[in-house]
Each structure stands twice: as structure tokens, then as C-alpha cells.
Structure 1
Amino acid sequence: MLSGTILVSLIALGVVNVALAQTNITANVCADPSAFTSCIAQATTASKGCMDICNGNNICVLGCGCAMYQSYINCVAESCWNQVYSCEYDELIADYFVNCPAATEPVPFWPAPDNAPGGCSCNLGKVLHSVMKAEQGYNSCITNNTSTSIVQLSNKNTACGCCEVSAGLSAMYETCPDTIPSAMGADSWLKTATLYGELINWGTCGSVLDKYSCPNLGFAPPSSNSSTFYNPNNLPPNGTYTLYNTGGVNALTAPASGSVFTWSQTSVTYTVTASPWKNSAVKATAAGTSGGSVASGTAAAAGATKTSGGASLSLQLPSVVVWLSVLGVLAKMVLI
């Protein structure tokens, strides 16, 4: 069991993450830079006002953070729709799931379809999906106890933890083998999935995984193209590429879900109207505005077409994605 000091620190870290949240998308790459700047400013001001009346209640602050992230998503969909498949948008959605325990799928344009125009060099949405499945596998594994032997139960619980860590890391290595693992959040995943080494010692998981089958413990395959659960002794070579967006600012030629669409979270339904192209620094390509509806990643790409030429601005993801939510860590604590 983690100490109370570490537990409090994890909660505080989640609150700090919410307070410092940002989209990591700069207005100059947006379809309508002015509208995006204004929208983000309004969302930030509203969230600060919400947090100010929380009087230090961390649950209240996290609730304000959920609303803030939803506003940020709407800002991107409205005036920066040409970046909805970018690495930066992937990071925004990852942060949303990290810091908002009420977040549920679907969310607009995520995960991105394969080979999406202007998409990220590594489909971080697919990676996060796999990590979320690893968390679900752990929760199922740790609660499915049939042994009455304390020793056997302890060994099996250790195997559950090793499989969870392995599933997340294996997903990263298999989904984006050419990408630097830390750019996909591997270091952060290793720290949080092992609860900073206090629950699971990843270095000793090799012998554990030799004895236990992760699929037999209820874990799904780590990725869509591989069922291999790697251990510390047989991880593939690290990739060498950083994250980058695969197309120019105007690679996406039209709002992926049309000019108007709706999406929902908890009891709130949002109607989003996309702005026309107003970025004077980047030449617009021909853009249609066919109607659309709820935007999951795959469905949203149905009418999008990739164009040659256009702007060549390269975007870099400025920070490492942190995959495991603080409240997810706390949920794991309850199960121990």
C-alpha cells in the first residue's frame, strides 16, 4: 500500500495538471486564428472562475477541469478544425482522459483514422486506447480471485500488475515501432503503472511473465497488429523518430464532420459550428462543407481528402503525454 504522503501528492498532481492545462495548439496554424485565440481565452477565463469558487475542494477543481477540456475541444473543432488529427490534438484528448474521470468515448475526431490528412506520425489515440484496455485488464484481473492461498493470490496479483505494464509498453512498441518510446509516454506509463515502483518492480517481471499468460489472465492483445506481451528482457529496439505531423497546415481541406455537428459528455450535448477558413498566412485549399453528425475518429474521416502541396509547416509535440489518470491510480489503490 502506498503511503499517505504519496497518495496526497498524486491527488495534488492531478489538480496541478488541470490548473496548468493548455491545448499546445498555436493559433497561427488554425483555420481561423483570431476565433481560436478568443475561444481559448474565454474557456480559460471561465475555468479559472469556476476553480476560484471551489475554495480548495480538489474534486470541485477536477470538475471544473472537465468542463475546461470540453471547451478546449470545442474551440479546436470550431476554429482549428484543420488540426483535429494532429499530434497536439491527440495530446489534448489524452490529457482530457488523464485529468477528467468523467470523460467517456466517443470524443470528436479521436482516435484518428489511419493515414488521416495532417495526422500525427504516431497514432497516439490508438496507443492510448491500448493503455486504457491495459488498465481495464488489470482491474478485471485483480478482482477475479479464486485462490484461497495467500501466497498464490499474491503471486497472481503481481502477475496482473506485470501484465498491465507489459500491455501498455507492448502497445507503444508495436503501434509505432519507429517512434521514440518516451515520446509516446513510455516513461510516464512505467512510473504510474508500477505506482512509482512501490507496487510492481518492472525489472523483475521477466520471470513472472514466463510463468503467467497475460491472455489467460484476461488481458486483451496489446495492439491491433500484435498479441505479444513483451517483458523487460525482450523489448524491441527503441524507435528513433520524434513526433511530427504528416501534412501541412491545410492538409485537411474541410471540417471532418461537416460545418455543424453534435457530441455529448455526461449530461451535456454540444453543437459545434465550424468557422470558414480565415488564415491569411496560409493559402486555403478547396474546402467543402457537407453536413455532419457525431464525430468519432473513423467516421469523421469519411469525407476528408488528402491534398498535395500546401503549407509545409512542421509541428512538434512540446511535451510528453502522461497516460494514466490520477484518479485511475487511486482506483487501483482501492483494489489493492
Structure 2
Amino acid sequence: MLSRTIFRALIALEAAATLALAQTNITADVCADPSAFTSCTTQALATSKGCTDMCNGSKMCVLGCGCAMYQSYINCVAESCWNQAYSCEYDKLVAAYFSQCSTAAEPIPFWPAPDSAPGGCSCNLGKVLQSVTKAQQEYNTCITNDTSTSVIQQGNQNTACGCCEVSAGLSAMYETCPDTIPADMGADIWLQASTIYGTVIHWDKCGSVLDQYNCHNLGFAPPSSNSSTFYKPANLPPNGTLTLYNTGPANAVTAPPSGSVFTWSQSSVMYTVTASPWKNGQIMVTSTSIATTKTSSTVTGTSSTVPPGATSAATGTAKTGAAMSMKELSLVGPAAWLQVIGVLMLV
């Protein structure tokens, strides 16, 4: 089986050229300090251009700029849009950071959101991503622990390790957020990446494999805190029908979750973040009551297309659902610092 480390490197190189176009769906108009957020993202765009201009076409260099770009986005949110720290949009930003940057590591500010966080996402995408990451780590341990001297037995167990990994990720999604459309939690993308687009692990054939192998015995922990079941292609629960939505208005969080000043780091870079006070005159926050001029809109979502050979996360008729959603627009552009590149080249 192709090494997942090699696979991630190939995907990273392929994605490097497009990192400069990455966006996050948080807008200044819902931020605690709209002006500061706009300034932060404008500076991000200028810094990103300076970083990528120095890469001279090097994909690894652009990838390094991309890692720092996401860190800049996180800082912009932490400084002036901290009231969106538990939102679906911020969860998606952190998920994109982990997906595109191999050096990304916990802890990440505000992530994952605590249970029942004010203004939190209807599905705790942070917990879902943690479960997926855990499944990847367990897969690596699983194939490393295969001590069989038989080539056939090694191949069979490696396939079982792969099927358990796919099942663990999907099971975590279905159990963590049973009401949410699987595609909105990244089920389709997970199937593509964990099966390497259906060419290494054939998820639709994993049922018979999982009948023969016990994922717990292969070193896989329960997929989620809600269940220890590793679902098979034919017995996944029904798809949820709700799209993602934020559970409160833009002013649900009334104070910076990590205090007015805090530090965090990635690789060798340390950041000190100073949060802006509330300056959004269009969304009022008082000590005794919360009033907002914003109204939520109704949206409809559908599950997306699954690659050939992949089943269940979007098998059969795609389900649709409606839910309340915060207004979503795109940031103007990315930011980057060259310090990350040297660390990335050593990975």
C-alpha cells in the first residue's frame, strides 16, 4: 500500500499552486471589530503576494507561504473577529489549515469548540476532524505493527487497516453529528483521501474485510465518544438531513474566549494576539441584553458526489435539508510569512 506520508506529500505539492487562492467564509460585517478585521485581511493579501513572489515557482515554497497564510487567518479572527471563534466558518478554516499544511498541529486557538459553545456550529467539526486525524494515526500504527512473514497475510491485514481507517472516520461523523448531511462534515472528501480515490482501498468491498478483522484488535480506538461501532458500507446509519448552521447570532460571544491577550505557536513561530474590543456599531452588545440587526437566512444543502466505488456516505438518493445559517462571504486573500518555509522543508 502506498505510504500515507508519500500520499500527503503528493497532495500537498499538487495543492501548493492553489493555496494563494484559499478563502475563508467570515466577513467583516459580523466581526467584533470590522475595521480591524478588514485591515488585517488587507495586510494579509499584501504579505502573501510578497511571500509567493519570492518563491520563483517553487511549490514547496508556495506551500510554506500557504501554511503561514492560514496562521494569519487564524490571527485575524483571534484579534478582531473573536466572536466568530466557535462558528462553522472558523471550523472550516481550521480544517482547511490541517488539510493543506503538513506542519499544522494542536493546540489551535478556540479549537475544537467546547460543547454547547455560544454561537457554535450545529456540528462540532473540530471533534470530527480530531477523530479523522486519530484514525489516520491508528492506520499508520496498524500497518507498522503487522509482523506477519507471509506476504499474503501482510497484504490482507494492511487492507484491513485501511478499511478500519475509512470506517473509523465515517463512523465518527455519523455518530458525532447524526442530523448533519455527511458531505457537510467532509465525508466525500474523507472517502476520496482515505481510499486514495478508490484505487488502494475499495470501500464498497470493505464489508467482507471487516467481517474477518476486528478493528479494536488491530489497535483502533472507538471512533467517537458516542459509539464504539465501526460501521460497514452496508450498515451505515441513515444520512442526516440538516446543513451546517451557527446556533446563535453574531453577538452570541460577547468577550474574547481566550482573554484580551494570549499566545500560541506553530512549528518555530510564536504569536502574541491582542484582541480588539467590541466596535461593531451595527450589532449591539450590552452588559444586560443582546440585540442584533442581523437576521439568519434559510439555506438548503445537498450531499456532493462520491468517487466511483465509494458507497454509503452518499449512496442512494442524496438527502437535502434546510437550516438557519449565518451570512457567508469570502475574505479578500491570504497572508504568509517566510519563517515557516525553513521548518516545512525539514518535514
| TM-score, L = length of structure 2 | 0.81
Higher relative CO (CA 8 A, sep ≥ 6), structure 1 or 2?
Answer: 2
| 1:14 alignment partner AA | A
Q: Would the aligned equivalents of 1:245 and 1:316 in 2 still touch at CA under 8 Å?
A: no
Structure 2 residue matching 1:214: 3-state secondary structure: coil
Check if 1:246 corresponds to 2:257. no
* Change over 3 Å in CA distance of 1:239–1:318 after alignment to 2: farther
TM-fit CA distance, 1:272? 0.7
| 1:104 alignment partner AA | A
* Change over 3 Å in CA distance of 1:17–1:318 after alignment to 2: farther
Which residue of structure 1 aligns with residue 340 of structure 2? none
CA distance in 2, matches of 1:308, 1:38: 26
Q: Would the aligned equivalents of 2:27 and 2:328 in 1 still touch at CA under 8 Å?
A: no
| TM-score, L = length of structure 1 | 0.84
Could you list the runs of 5+ residues in structure 1 that have no partner in the other structure?
288-306, 320-336
| 1:195 alignment partner AA | I
Q: Would the aligned equivalents of 1:162 and 1:202 in 2 still touch at CA under 8 Å?
A: yes
CA distance in 1, matches of 2:228, 2:252: 34
Which residue of structure 2 aligns with residue 90 of structure 1? 91
Structure 2 residue matching 1:238: 3-state secondary structure: coil
2:326 corresponds to which of 303, 315, 319 = 315
TM-fit CA distance, 1:278? 1.1
* Change over 3 Å in CA distance of 1:9–1:316 after alignment to 2: farther
Check if 1:159 corresponds to 2:160. yes
CA RMSD of aligned residues (A): 2.0
Where do residues 117-266 of structure 1 align in structure 2 (5 Å cutoff)? 117-266=118-267
Structure 2 residue matching 1:31: 3-state secondary structure: coil
TM-fit CA distance, 1:67? 1.0
CA distance in 1, matches of 2:218, 2:327: 38
Q: Deviations over 1:28-61 (max 9, x none)?
A: 1101111101101111221221111111111111
Q: Would the aligned equivalents of 1:23 and 1:92 in 2 still touch at CA under 8 Å?
A: yes
Which residue of structure 1 aligns with residue 300 of structure 2? none
Where do residues 257-276 of structure 1 align in structure 2 (5 Å cutoff)? 257-276=258-277
Q: Would the aligned equivalents of 2:27 and 2:329 in 1 still touch at CA under 8 Å?
A: no
How many residues in Structure 1 have an aligned counterpart in Structure 2? 297
Which residue of structure 2 aligns with residue 333 of structure 1? none
% identical equivalent positions:
70
Q: Would the aligned equivalents of 1:261 and 1:273 in 2 still touch at CA under 8 Å?
A: yes
Q: Deviations over 1:93-112 (max 9, x none)?
A: 01111111111110100000
Where do residues 44-123 of structure 1 align in structure 2 (5 Å cutoff)? 44-123=45-124
